[in-house]
Amino acid sequence: NAAAKDAAVAALTAQGCTVEVSDLYAMKFKAAATTEDFIGGVKTAEDCYAGQIKLAWEEGVIADCIKKEQEKLKEADLVIFQFPMYWSSVPAIMKGWMDRVLGFAYAQEKRYSEGIFKDKKAMLSFTTDCPESVYSDTGINGDINVTLWPLQNGILNYCGFQVFAPQIFWDPAAGSPESRSSMLECWRTRLQNLCGEATVYFAPLDYFDKEKGFLLKPEVKEKYASKESGLTVGIHMGKPLPANSQTKAGV
């Protein structure tokens, strides 16, 4: 992961990009979301953490470590999350970053395709401790597209990000030095043309009826009724999942 991060920094910098790295472990970033995140303490005991963190951001009384990360996000055109996959998700410290930092990144009327970050792009770049077959639709861990849905849709797309297909380093620890070098070279090559890539498909917000619990509108259901697969991994309409919809652009 450190090598993948270094490769990305070098490749993007060589293209003239300004790159800023948040090394959460080096920063000793706190994973737990607590009342210490609000300068001056909790405003209303009835409100949940999500409501408190949004209010603290609006009033400028948020902890400095959170504010600094939010400022980075506001400036960024592209955010890359580099991590080793833990328990089919991100490590606790990165999940804590998402919990604490992204509280300002959405509103009831600004989510998904209308999200606050709809003009920004994001992607996951991660390593696994098993070969690709283990995360296949017949593998013991199940389809990697299903694994990625909560992260790419429930977090990145929810905040409005346009999401590039993930960069997956399959089981690098078990490979040879040559295979790891090859993986990094593929990553560098991809980064040279990344901005020209299409992004992963997600159903737009206007497909859903706000007045009826954000269910698919009847006309949308009718439009896709004859399709062999559902819209996405999560919104599958009781049909087979669209193949590779979370790992390939435009699917």
Kindly provide the residue ranges of all beta strands, DSSP E only, lying in the chain, ordered along the sequence.
Answer: 78-84, 121-127, 162-163, 167-169, 208-209, 215-216
Q: 14 or 106, which is more confident?
A: 14
Q: Give the DSSP per-residue string, 43-105.
A: S-TTS-HHHHHHHHHHHT-B-HHHHHHHHHHHH-SEEEEEEE-BTTB--HHHHHHHHHHGGGS
Residue 120 φ/ψ region, left for φ over 0, alpha for ψ in the -120 to 50 degree band, beta for the rest: beta
Whole-number CA gyration radius for the chain: 19
Per DSSP, the three-state class of 11 is helix
Please give the single-letter amino acid code of residue 4: A
Q: What is the pLDDT of residue 46?
A: 62
Band (43; pLDDT cuts 50, 70, 90): low
Tokens representing 8 are: 């990305």
Instruction: List the chain domain ranges.
Output: 1-199
d(CA 162, CA 179): 30
d(CA 53, CA 215): 28
- Element at 195 (helix H, strand E): none
Q: What percent of the chain has pLDDT over 90?
A: 83
Directed axis angle between helix 2-14 and helix 177-192, to 10°? Answer: 30
Name beta bridge partners: 110: 107
Q: What is the pLDDT of residues 159-179, one digit of tens each?
A: 999 999 999 999 999 999 999
1-199 maps to CATH 3.40.1390.10: no
Tokens representing 55 are: 């209010």
**Beta strands 215-216 and 208-209, pairing class:** antiparallel
Task: State pTM to two decimals.
Answer: 0.94
DSSP 8-state assignment for residue 241: P
Q: What is the pLDDT of residues 206-248, one digit of tens each?
A: 999 999 999 999 999 999 999 999 999 999 999 999 999 999 9
